[in-house]
């Protein structure tokens, strides 16, 4: 009687299997590390691809090949950025240099303003509250004196030099990823739909439609908001005779894109040259102008123009901005709200659909 022996894998089989699994895991880890490193360029590229896709579809509808239409759209974007840097940046840099040449005078005015604020605060503070909890002298030693010595400026310059490689990588990678997404977007879209079971097909279509509409509305609203604020602030600053009015108006409108922190940066920057006005009226005018701009932005521009864009609970928006700022810096603050808004839309659509199908 013949006894059948069980075919058991030998050591070489185990070793080969182990090497294969290790290679797969290393490759996945490599991809995850790359995606983490390029998370911000990928996120920005996705937003740009959604924004440029209508222009690419329009060019393709005129009879141009898809690749050529994508190339023209991306090159137009690069050209606009290049012209903006080469035309606007030298002007703004010259005004920045002029402002910095009078930095000692500005710092003296800021110290004088701090002392006035301290005197007013002490005069209205109840008697049982200690005086000079945070004095002008302390603020001067802590912040103004380092600025005078140039230590903070040099640190910032070193930090800027360290950021140059990252900025260069971001500037190169973002257009490339945007080009790939625009060129293969339809293929990715069709391949995605082909893998969706019929049960969830409608949910995915609705999800993609809402995400596209939200991104498009956000970009359109953001550009209109920026244009209105830039024109309004620049005209008002010119009207009151504020030095460097175009630079300050455009800078404040651009800084306003940064949630929460942007308006503070804008008004603080505009107040500095207003301190040189002997009468002190320009500081009051600047505060009034920013108050009007803020009220108009909160009461009219955002509810009317950005109403269909991103709807987030204020607490979620604050947490998103803080998290993205810690991960990606200032750029992370800019893209935090639209990206988190997209995720919230996806969660909402998927929850309703999956609940309707009794999956959850």
Categorise residue 196: left if φ over 0, alpha if ψ from -120 to 50, beta otherwise.
beta
User: CA–CA distance from 274 to each of 139, 181, 267, 288 (Å)?
Assistant: 21, 46, 11, 13
- pLDDT tens, position by position, 319-344: 777 887 777 777 677 777 777 777 88
Please tell me the total number of residues recorded for the chain in this structure: 360
Provide the pLDDT for residue 360: 67
User: CA–CA distance from 120 to each of 111, 220, 262 (Å)?
Assistant: 14, 45, 27
Provide the pLDDT for residue 152: 45
Q: What is the pLDDT along the chain (360 residues), one digit of tens a residue?
A: 455 555 555 676 777 778 878 888 887 777 777 666 677 777 778 778 877 888 888 888 888 888 898 889 888 888 887 787 777 777 777 777 777 777 677 777 777 777 777 777 777 766 666 665 556 666 666 666 666 655 444 444 455 455 566 666 677 788 888 888 888 877 877 777 787 777 777 777 887 777 777 777 777 778 888 889 999 999 999 998 888 888 888 888 888 887 777 888 888 888 878 877 777 788 889 989 999 988 888 777 766 665 555 666 667 777 777 887 777 777 677 777 777 777 887 787 777 777 776 666
In this prediction the pTM is: 0.61
């Amino acid at each position: 009687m013949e006894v059948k022996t069980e075919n058991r894998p030998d050591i070489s089989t185990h070793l080969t299997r182990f090497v294969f699994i290790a290679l797969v895991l290393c490759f996945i880890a490599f991809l995850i590390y790359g995606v983490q490193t390029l998370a911000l360029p990928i996120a920005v590229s996705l937003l740009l691809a959604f924004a440029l896709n209508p222009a690419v579809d329009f060019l393709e509808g005129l009879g141009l090949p898809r690749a050529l239409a994508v190339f023209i759209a991306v090159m137009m974007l690069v050209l606009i950025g290049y012209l903006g840097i080469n035309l606007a940046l030298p002007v703004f840099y010259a005004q920045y240099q002029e402002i910095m040449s009078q930095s000692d005078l500005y710092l003296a005015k800021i110290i004088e303003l701090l002392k006035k604020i301290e005197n007013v605060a002490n005069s209205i503070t109840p008697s049982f509250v200690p005086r000079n909890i945070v004095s002008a002298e302390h603020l001067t030693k802590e912040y103004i004196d380092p600025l005078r010595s140039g230590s903070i400026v040099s640190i910032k310059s070193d930090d800027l030099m360290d950021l140059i490689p990252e900025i260069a990588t971001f500037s190169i990678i973002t257009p490339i990823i945007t080009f790939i997404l625009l060129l293969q977007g339809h293929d990715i879209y069709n391949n995605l739909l082909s893998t969706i079971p019929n049960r969830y097909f409608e949910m995915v279509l609705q999800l993609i439609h809402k995400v596209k509409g939200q991104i498009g509305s956000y970009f359109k609203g953001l550009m209109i908001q920026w244009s209105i604020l830039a024109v309004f602030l620049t005209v008002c600053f010119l009207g009151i005779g504020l030095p460097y009015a175009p630079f300050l108006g455009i800078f404040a409108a651009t800084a306003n894109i940064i949630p929460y922190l942007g308006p503070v940066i804008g008004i603080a920057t505009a107040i500095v040259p207003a301190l040189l006005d002997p009468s002190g009226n320009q500081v009051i005018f600047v505060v009034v102008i920013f108050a009007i701009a803020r009220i108009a932005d909160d009461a009219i521009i955002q509810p009317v123009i950005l109403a269909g864009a991103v709807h987030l609970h204020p607490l979620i928006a604050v947490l998103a901005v803080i998290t993205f700022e810690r991960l990606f810096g200032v750029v992370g603050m800019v893209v935090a709200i639209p990206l988190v808004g997209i995720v919230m839309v996806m969660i909402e659509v998927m929850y309703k659909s999956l609940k309707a199908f009794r999956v959850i």
